[in-house]
Structure 1
Amino acid sequence: MADDTDRRPLPATGWAVLGLLSFGEELSGYDLKKWSDRSLRFFYWSPSFSQIYSELKRLERAGYASSRTVAQETGTRDKRVYRITAEGLEAVRAWAREAPVDPPVLKHGPMLRLWLGHLLEPEQMREVLLRHREFAQDMHDRAVADAELARDEPAWAYPALTLKWAERYYASERDLTAAMLADVEAAAGRTSDRA
């Protein structure tokens, strides 16, 4: 019998892990981390291994997931795999359909540095923006590659769409950063004219 004290509310990470299990496969904690790195990290966050294992324990206590140990080759540690239960599928479906959708909260390190640009040298600000542009390009490229892998998996039709969104988001972030580089140059010119 499930422990009612662990039923709800789950933290967002718990719903994310349960959502990964909702695709119907038995997955180890390692598999869940790999899947989250190929999908969740583009638009939410990819939980750490410790967060994943903590949530798996919580999901089992709630009756939303079950696990079993699978024997591995000699000399290799057995692994535990997890599967969503019917009750877990019902819970995550209800959460996806009924829970309010939180608006995104922008926590943007480069923007915070830009806001404090008066405390930096123009070259430092430029370097922050150049690194961010490279990051955005890298995330764009990874989203494209992961979307390619997801395309052949019928169960991943909607995750593939989120990867397309991530691809477009990081392309726009890259382009916004390039425009901001020009704006910073113009602002640096205005402040040096006053000096």
Structure 2
Amino acid sequence: MERDFLPTTTYAVLGLLGFGQELSGYEVRQWALRSLRFFFWTPAQSHVYRELRRLEELGLAASRDVPQEGRPDKRVFAITEEGRRELSRWIDEAPLAPPVLKYDSALRLFFGQHARPGRLEEIIDEHRAAVQQTLDELDAVRAVLAAGGPPEDTSEEAGRWALADAVAVWGQKLWRSDLAALGRLRREVAAARARRPAG
């Protein structure tokens, strides 16, 4: 009998190991910060270590200690064959969770009747600036992928990062549409304020 599906964050870590590199817990988090944070998860270091322990206990990942000169040994993790099968099973068979829009800015705007004058526009402008920064960072990510992937990736496998780049392009399109929607929202907020009675 097949096991129940694991938490999605567990598969996120397993998927990063699935690129074939041996990674330390620190490196897993760095890879997540350069990739997964744009569309799924920004993990705490402690969460990464919990997921790695779980993967190892289940036989989905294996670890070994690598001696380092002048520093403590480094523990690195690699996906196992069972881990590859489990990652494929999750991708192929697990039901998709519904997409969720979870913006702090949207929540504040929803309750915006309690804001001081001008604050809603500030919130929209802050959100726009954050979106633009994300777009700039995605441009940098795409440049790294076009150059063959992260510098610590020693694989010579052709096309290894093509799907990651496709997701980055998708992200760029989503964020650009978000910028356009924020422009419309700012105009609507101003119009709503003009219609609201004073006092």
TM-score with structure 1 length normalisation?
0.91
Q: Which has the higher helix share?
A: 1
How many residues are paired up? 188
Aligned-residue offset at 1:9: 3.1
2:37 counterpart residue number: 41
Q: Is the 8 A contact 2:25 2:76 kept in 1?
A: yes
Q: Return 172-181 or 15-24, whichever deviates more.
A: 172-181
**Aligned counterpart, 1:183:** 188
Root mean square deviation, CA, Å: 1.6
SS in structure 2 opposite 1:169? helix
Distance 2:194 2:116 in 1: 12
TM-score of the superposed pair, with normalisation by structure 2: 0.89
Please state how far the C-alpha of 1:122 moved relative to its aligned partner: 3.2
Distance 1:33 1:174 in 2: 28
Equivalent residue, structure 2, for 1:161: 166
Query: What residue ranges of structure 1 are gaps of 5+ in the alignment?
Result: none
Rounded to whole Å, the distance in 1 between the matches of 2:4 and 2:63 is 20
Question: Is 1:97 aligned to 2:102, yes or no?
Answer: no
Aligned to 1:26: 22
| 1:68 paired residue number | 64
Report if the CA contact (8 A) 2:5-2:94 is conserved: no
Aligned to 2:78: 83
- Following TM superposition, by how much is the alpha carbon of 1:158 offset from its aligned partner in structure 2, in angstroms? 0.8
How far apart are the structure 2 equivalents of 1:11 and 1:191?
46
- What displacement does 1:131 show? 0.4
Larger deviation, residues 134-143 vs 151-160: 151-160
1:159-187 CA deviation, whole Å, 9 max, x = no partner? 11111111111111122112211111111
Q: Once the two structures are superposed, what CA deviation does each residue of 1:62-82 show, in whole Å capped at 9, x if it has no partner?
A: 0000001111121x2221110
Partner of 2:143: 148
From 3, 9, 12, give the equivalent of 2:5.
Answer: 9
Q: CA deviation at 1:118?
A: 0.8
Percent of aligned pairs with the same amino acid? 40
Tell me which residue corresponds to 2:154.
none
Work out the CA distance in 1 between the residues paired with 2:168 and 2:117.
35
Deviations 1:107-142 (A, max 9, x none): 121111111111112311111111000001111111
Partner of 1:51 in structure 2? 47
